[in-house]
Amino acid sequence: MERGFWATLKKPIIGLAPMDGVTDAAFRFMSAKYGHPHVVYTEFTSAEGIEAGALRLMRDFRYSELERPVVAQIFGYHPKAFYKAAFTAAALGFDGVDINMGCPAKNIAEAGSGAALIRTPELAKEIVCATRRGLEDWGRGMEVAQAGLHSAILEYAQTEWAHLGGAPVRRVLPLTIKTRIGYDAVVIEEWIKHLSEVEPVAIAIHGRTLKQLYTGLANWDAIGRAVEIARGSGTMIFGNGDVRTVAEAHERVAQYGVDGVLIGRAVEGNPWVFAEHTATREEKLQACIEHARYFEKVSPDQRFLNMRKHLAWYCSGFDGARELRIQLMTTQSADEVEKVVHAWNCKE
């Protein structure tokens, strides 16, 4: 088991959970700058899309040095695609690769990906082995041209190397998994036994089934049972679900014995969570502007519409927040965000 950077992190590990449509490059940058989580994950990215040469997916693999250690998360259903996606992530300089076996979205599950892999454990294990082979081939010196990557992805990687002054250091990256406690029922005992066979460095477990989506309370007792099953295997277990603060994360560690906790929705509009800092109104308003500026810098190919939900999340917990939020929902650029914020401040 290649542990990589995970071996250097002090426990308990408190990280930023991957969230589809949320943890893009700008969000991760803000979280890293103001919160300093121990580790961050990208949004999940389609392995089959990478195999097919979908360059638009590479925007999900943008990251800054400030985010390190940063883990590329991939999803899909075809082992061959996972091999190529893992090799690509390693070639782009990530610190680790995570396989999503927990997404509950209907279109993802119906394709056999995400949390649907809980129902096909043999395929899940085959995917892990293929991903590991991709990481090992990169680390052991296989030429990029020999990995079977799509020409568009190969050209993209080589262009990135030119910007960086050369290819990343060759090393075998650690492999982790993020999953749920079951599909339509809790099957954590059987599921963790299957995953333990392929020896991931860590398994992060969201305490709900696919059927639950994000409703009800996260089942931390099930996560605790996973800890017992994995004990002695060398695989770390992280818990995820309904944790709003670092203090609550430490409570879960003490109660359930997890090696760490991933915090997700509580970070929306609050990158200071990991620093245990309560932001002032002024800090939130400045973050609106900074986040919007960085979004435009690193995602010039994306519509500003994708930024607006982040602006809305910052606008809470102070007088007049609703009025400001309504105004920010019509902005089309960072310049407009700054104008709205400054005009609103002048009224206060």
Q: Is residue 3 part of a domain?
A: no
The answer on 155 and 254 residing in a single domain is yes
The answer on 343 and 253 residing in a single domain is no
Judging by beta carbons within 10 Å of its beta carbon (0-12, 13-18, 19+), is residue 265 exposed, middle or buried? middle
Range of the domain at 232: 8-275
Give the separation between CA 184 and CA 209, rounded to whole angstroms: 6
Give the separation between CA 211 and CA 218, rounded to whole angstroms: 13
Q: Is residue 99 part of a domain?
A: yes
Cβ atoms within 10 Å, residue 105: 16
The answer on 184 and 134 residing in a single domain is yes
The answer on 186 and 202 residing in a single domain is yes
The answer on 289 and 260 residing in a single domain is no
The answer on 150 and 91 residing in a single domain is yes
Give the alpha-carbon dihedral of 76, 77, 80, 82, to 10 degrees.
30
Collapsed DSSP state (helix, strand, coil) of residue 201: coil
Return the CATH number at 25. Answer: 3.20.20.70
Do residues 8 and 20 make contact, with C-beta atoms less than 8 angstroms apart?
A: no
Q: Is residue 2 part of a domain?
A: no
Which is it for the CA torsion 72, 78, 80, 81, positive or negative? negative
Collapsed DSSP state (helix, strand, coil) of residue 196: helix
Read off the DSSP letter of residue 197.
H
The answer on 81 and 203 residing in a single domain is yes
Q: Is residue 1 part of a domain?
A: no
Query: How many domains does one find in the chain?
Result: 2
- Give the domain-ending residue among 213, 246, 275: 275
Q: Is residue 183 part of a domain?
A: yes
The answer on 292 and 157 residing in a single domain is no
Q: Is residue 48 part of a domain?
A: yes
Paired residues of 183 in beta bridges: none
Query: Measured between alpha carbons, how far is residue 128 from residues 85, 242, 248 in Å?
Result: 12, 28, 31
The answer on 340 and 207 residing in a single domain is no
Judging by beta carbons within 10 Å of its beta carbon (0-12, 13-18, 19+), is residue 324 exposed, middle or buried? buried
Q: How confident is the model over 100-145, as pLDDT tens digits?
A: 999 998 999 999 999 999 999 999 999 999 999 999 999 999 998 8
Question: What angle separates helix 281-298 from helix 25-34, to the nearest 10 degrees?
Answer: 140
- Give the domain-ending residue among 219, 248, 275: 275
Q: Is residue 296 part of a domain?
A: yes
The answer on 144 and 81 residing in a single domain is yes
| Residue 150, amino acid | H
- Give the domain-ending residue among 275, 308, 328: 275
Residue 154, φ and ψ in degrees, nearest 5: -60, -45
The answer on 204 and 182 residing in a single domain is yes
Could you read off the pLDDT tens digit of each residue along the chain, which spans 348 residues? Answer: 799 999 999 999 999 999 999 999 999 999 999 999 999 999 999 999 999 999 999 999 999 999 999 999 999 999 999 999 999 999 999 999 999 999 998 999 999 999 999 999 999 999 999 999 999 999 999 998 899 999 999 999 999 988 878 889 899 999 999 999 999 999 999 999 999 999 999 999 999 998 887 878 899 999 999 999 999 999 999 999 999 999 999 999 999 999 999 999 999 999 999 999 999 999 999 999 999 999 999 998 889 999 999 999 999 988 888 999 999 999 999 999 999 999 887 765
Q: How confident is the model over 14-44, as pLDDT tens digits?
A: 999 999 999 999 999 999 999 999 999 999 9
Give the alpha-carbon dihedral of 28, 30, 36, 40, to 10 degrees.
0
The answer on 271 and 286 residing in a single domain is no
Read off the DSSP letter of residue 271.
T
Q: What is the pTM of this model?
A: 0.95
